[in-house]
Amino acid sequence: MWFALATPKLELRLRLEELGEVKVHEEIIPELLGALVREVRSDGMARHPVIVDSNTLVVLDGMHRVAALEKLGCRYLPACLVDYRNPHIYVRCWYRTVRGKVTFPELFDAVKSLGLEVEQSSLEGALEALDGREATAAMLTGEGCHMLRGAGEGIRASYAWVGRIERALGEKGLKVGYEAERDARRMVSSGDAAAAIMTPRVRKEEVVEAALEGNPFAHKTTRHVVDARPMAVNVPLEWLTGDRRLEDVNGMLIEHLSGRGVRRLPRGEVFEGRRYEEELWVFE
């Protein structure tokens, strides 16, 4: 039982799921969780659905929302079920942007002091090396691009190194942020960021494996882009925390959504302060 949105390239199935049945593939940031718990409690509703693979119940996007609803004692959560095998669902990266007063030699020295090998490269060469898992990460600055290589193999070793880089730069008083690949490169080009740490992509099968094995990746390892994304389902918390049967609350959800219109926003639109690469289907 679900409410279906037939978008051009992807079917979106909206329903409530047992919170204890979904599986997360990525850790959360505790500071963000506290703020989200307060926001959801204040709203009295879960505004946006969590994106979940319909075949495995692996959470693709919305780890913090899962944790927030769990903190609030919810039994159910609003989910958008999608087929993860669909080629119009992509796994992308979060690049780490570095802001603050720092010179290229200082950045270079900070990275090398961790034990990473640094090799000058073209941007295209670095991207190819990251896709082929031949580089741990890469650093893009106004001075050019450098591949970074550290001990250890595999995607988890790469992100362990990325975490060390983040901490080392933070200890120098620099602000590390998270941006989509294109946005991070634009920030370096414009001078809004001193550098971007370019990260490798995780593969879909690695996402599923991490979740099913209960061995999540570090926070901000994956960035899922779904061809179309539903927003503003606005499910009251009382539906999620009560003793109602799952079948009954899903009937309530279908009735709730059936009586509302849907506004489509194009790709690249800013919604509630965030720019989305996907087309948004916003319930009104």
Mean pLDDT taken over the chain: 95
What confidence tens digit (pLDDT) does each residue in 128-141 have?
999 999 999 999 99
Looking at the fold, whether 82 and 111 belong to one and the same domain comes out as no
CA dist list (Å): 274 to 179, 189, 220, 222, 224:
11, 21, 16, 17, 15
CA dist list (Å): 272 to 47, 97, 144:
12, 22, 34
* 0.95 exceeded by pTM: no
Range of the domain at 228: 3-90+206-283
Looking at residue 175, what is its pLDDT? 97
CATH of the domain at 152: 3.30.1760.10
Looking at the fold, whether 217 and 83 belong to one and the same domain comes out as yes
CA dist list (Å): 83 to 52, 88, 89, 232:
8, 10, 9, 21
Looking at the fold, whether 61 and 140 belong to one and the same domain comes out as no
Looking at the fold, whether 253 and 165 belong to one and the same domain comes out as no
Looking at the fold, whether 18 and 79 belong to one and the same domain comes out as yes
Looking at residue 275, what is its pLDDT? 85
The answer to whether the CB of 63 falls within 8 A of the CB of 24 is: yes
Looking at the fold, whether 219 and 192 belong to one and the same domain comes out as no
Looking at the fold, whether 99 and 159 belong to one and the same domain comes out as yes
Looking at the fold, whether 58 and 146 belong to one and the same domain comes out as no
What is the total count of domains within the chain? 2
Please name the residues in contact with 257: beta carbons below 8 A apart, sequence gap of 6 or more: 3, 14, 233, 283
CATH of the domain at 73: 3.90.1530.10
What confidence tens digit (pLDDT) does each residue in 118-129 have?
999 999 999 999
- Give me the mean pLDDT over the 177-201 stretch: 96
Looking at the fold, whether 214 and 269 belong to one and the same domain comes out as yes
